[in-house]
Amino acid sequence: MTKWEYATVPLMIHATKQILDNWGEDGWELVQVVPGPEGNGLVAYFKREKA
């Protein structure tokens, strides 16, 4: 059975691409982007297979 680990990351509008690229380089797959708490900013959800 595949096991996963997850991460949530706040996204800053001025650096979104850089943030997503950095996490992707570390093997994380973007699952979803949703509004942050109380509608402030965005939060990215990532997953990757556990080693």
Q: How do the pLDDT tens digits run along the chain, 51 residues long?
A: 999 999 999 998 899 999 999 999 999 999 999 999 888 899 999 999 998
pTM here is 0.87
Residues in the chain: 51
- Distance separating alpha carbons of residues 47 and 30, to the nearest angstrom: 7
Report DSSP state, residue 42: E
Residue-level pLDDT at 18: 95
The pLDDT of residue 40 is: 83
Do 11 and 42 meet the contact criterion of CB atoms below 8 Å apart?
yes
Please give the pLDDT value at position 51. 84
pLDDT score at 29: 98
Q: How far apart are CA 49 and CA 29, in angstroms?
A: 9
